[in-house]
Structure formats: structure tokens, C-alpha cells
Homo-oligomer: A and B are copies of this chain.
Amino acid sequence: MLIIFKAEHTEDEVEKVRERVLAAGCEAHIVRGLYRVTINVLGDDSKLDPEEFKSYNGVVDVIAVMNPYQLVSRDFHKDDTEIRVKDVVFGPGHFVIMAGPCAVESEEQTLRIARAVRKAGANVLRGGAYKPRSSPYNFQGMGDEGLKILKRASVETGMPIITEALDSRSLEQVYKYADIIQIGTRNMQNFSLLKEVGKLDKPVLLKRGMSATIDEWLMAAEYVMAGGNTKILLCERGIRSFDSRHTRNVVDLSAVPVVKALSHLPVVIDPSHGTGRRDSVSPMSLASVAVGASAVLIDVHDDAQRALCDGAQAITPVDFEQIVSGIRKVASALDKKIEAPR
């Protein structure tokens, strides 16, 4: 940590800061420059909050030298983390295709789509039983009944399930049925929920908040990992930008190499919710492989015009087959393995 003092400060103000640093068990290295006095804080400053020092008189700025996360940081865990879910591997040299309906709407619909995506080459079945909707008047999901339907589809097709938990109550149910627990973008900083999934032994897919910085996203993962759960998939699903006329979000593919430099965790892309546009799903899926992501999460619906949720971005099983074929070409060109469905 670097603590920077105003041009006009008193020795007393510097001394107060120095004492606080020492009291925390760190060293305070005072450096006097031409225009600015600074204190370099040495030692393990992970328990010191930079914000605290901004409140000291005489201090103009405080800069963290280290990133605020440890468990998720590559600084303390050099090798890429590999996460296995049944036969499916998230990690270096592999690429995973997760697909299914945005929302579970009926047993028939779910089974039909599950069979279709499996046939086309999906490895994991996605589907929402509990849906966070921005309007209270929209379809909120089938709930527990939806989870049971997903389970049946999983048993039949052999694909593990990923589905979202919204709160304590739904988490309890989701834990029973799901193979991967999804935490949605609006809950990325729902710290109560993060603490709860941190205590579980199933993989968690943590979506990036719509306007979360990379550090905030990794701190959210740190919450989960601090609870003991180390199986975390980081999922980029589109961030807010100043342009909302033609797209819902900007899918931040440039975050992939950045996050991979900072953390050892696998990164997943959701091109469906990320773009909100059916015609963008294919190019963004191919780009996800090329940029180094570990997986994609794709909405598929065989009757998008009757979908109860996010039909605008859902692609048909036929288009999905094309996308899988494109993904395989790019993956193969870059020596990545895609687990064939059994």
C-alpha cells in the first residue's frame, strides 16, 4: 500500500498514519519526494483497508499495491484450476458447451430441447427453474417443479445440470438437484448468498455483475472461496455500456486474458444473455474459444416465439448444431479438446 500526503501536510499527520501502520504489524517506510511525501506500507497489509487511510488528515490518496484478493489470485496459486463435473472438465486444453432453455417451461419442452442439444454436442444442460425478472409481472419460473424436470432430463441425456439459485430457500432446493450452482449477475454482490454457497461442496458459476469491475468480481469469488468452496467458474455475461440501442450489453471478451492473468480460475462466456441478440451468438461463441475461455453457456429454444423468457436471444437446435460445428473447428485449430457426449 502506498499512502500519499498532500503538498500541505504536517509532520504530526504523517506520524499518526505511521503509528496506525505499525499498530497493524506492518512497517512504514517514509519516502520524501520533491513534491510529495509518501509512506510505503511493508509486510502483510491484507487486513488494512486503503479506505481507512483516506480518512486521515493530510492524506490525499491511498493506492493498493497488491490486489485485494488472495485465495483466487494467481499470486498465491500459480497453476490453472481444473474443475471436473462428472466427465466434463473446465480447465486448460478443454472447452465445454453448456446449452438448454433459458427457462424450464414444461417437462416436454425441456426434454425435447435437452435431447436436441445433447445430440448436437452439448456437454452440460442449462435451464432456469427460478428466474430473476426485472418486472414483477413477468414469468418467475417453475420453481421446485422445474428442478425435478431438469433432473429427469439430466438422467435421460447423461448431461450434468447447471441452474440458478436466487436466495437461501431456492439454494437449498437447487443444491439437491444441480451439478453446478449458478449465481446470477444481480446477485454477484449478494454477500449473504455468497457466504452460503461458500459452505457447499458443489461447483459455483459466478456471473459478473453488470457493472462490476474485475476486482469486484474476483472479490466476490474470494467470498465464496473464503467459505471453503474452491470450485468456482467465473462467467462474463455482458457489461453495461453507453450504447443500448442495438445490443443489451457489451460482452467483455477482453476481460478473459486479464482475468486469466490475475486468477487461476476458469472463465466462461454467456453469449446469449451477453448480447441479447440471436445473430450474435454464433460469432461470439467462436470468439470465446479463440480468446481462451473455458466454456460457453447458450440459450436454445425450439419455439423461441413462444419462449416465456428471453426469446430474442434463443437460437434453434438447428442453428445450435452449426455453432457447435464452428466451435469444434476453432477449438481443434487451437488444440482444445471438447468432450463428446457419450
Contact = CB atoms under 8 A, between A and B. Distances in A.
A256 interface: yes
Contacts of A289: 290
Contacts of A322: none
Contact of A51 (B170, B186, B311): B311
Contacts of A290: 283, 286-287, 289-291, 330
Contacts of A166: 191-192
Interface residues on A, range: 35 or more
A270 to B, nearest CB: 12
A43 interface: yes
How many copies of this chain? 4
A278 B16 CA distance: 19
A24 interface: no
Given A75-B7, A226-B136, A284 B253 contact: yes
- The main secondary structure of chain A at its interface with chain B is mixed
Contacts of A210: 211
A40 interface: yes
A152 interface: no
A245 to B, nearest CB: 6
A242 B219 contact: no
A231 to B, nearest CB: 17
B241 A257 contact: no
Contacts of A314: 55
A258 B277 contact: yes
A97 to B, nearest CB: 15
B55 A312 contact: yes
A111 interface: no
Interface stretch (A61-69, A79-87, A119-127, A156-164): A61-69
A337 interface: no
Contact of A33 (B43, B47, B56, B333): B43
21 contacts: A7-B75, A34-B44, A40-B40, A47-B137, A51-B312, A54-B311, A55-B304, A55-B314, A68-B135, A133-B191, A136-B219, A166-B191, A170-B192, A210-B211, A211-B240, A215-B243, A239-B242, A246-B258, A253-B287, A283-B290, A290-B291
Q: Please name the 3 residue pairs, one residue from A and one from B, whose CB atoms are nearest each other, closest first.
A: A55-B311, A211-B211, A54-B312
Given A33-B40, A210-B211, 6 more contacts: A7-B75, A55-B304, A136-B191, A168-B168, A261-B279, A286-B334
